[in-house]
Amino acid sequence: QVELVESGGGSVQAGGSLNISCEASGRIGSTYFRNYGMAWFRQAPGRERDFVASISWGENTDTNYAESVKGRFTISKDNAKKTVYLRMNGLKPEDTAVYFCAATPMTSAQAMDKVTPTYWGQGTQVTVSS
């Protein structure tokens, strides 16, 4: 079993920045963490969970972003630390949501928004005030 734990959420004013992180633990060493495509999704109250960003498995650093966050958000990962990051700049009130980390074995960035992830984190709240 793989456990994903998000951290770094919080409250910020519109135009501000936040970094959130997701660390993998459980039956996944750094060697195997690199075999997972990683993604961030978000869910606002009363809405469905939406894809935000993803990064490919392995040493491939291909990324994929939802149109709504392109140019503002950056996903990255550190295989040695078994951690994926989301840097969020230029935050808007409509970015307010619970952000979830997700992992799927050997999946490219382009496919991560089309498959149901194998593992989910518990989520971290991001609130952007106007």
Distance between CA 46 and CA 68 in Å, rounded? 18
- The mean pLDDT value for 90-108 works out to 95
Distance between CA 77 and CA 59 in Å, rounded? 10
Instruction: Categorize the per-residue pLDDT at 26 as very low, low, confident or very high, splitting at 50, 70 and 90.
Output: confident
Q: Considering the chain, what is the average pLDDT of its residues?
A: 93
- The mean pLDDT value for 64-80 works out to 96
- The mean pLDDT value for 96-121 works out to 93
Distance between CA 72 and CA 43 in Å, rounded? 18
- The mean pLDDT value for 103-109 works out to 90
Q: Which residue in 108, 94, 86 sits closest to 36, CA to CA?
A: 108
pLDDT > 70? residue 30: no
User: Would you state the pLDDT for residue 66?
Assistant: 98
- The mean pLDDT value for 98-113 works out to 92
pLDDT > 80? residue 1: no
Instruction: Categorize the per-residue pLDDT at 29 as very low, low, confident or very high, splitting at 50, 70 and 90.
Output: low
Residues in the chain: 130
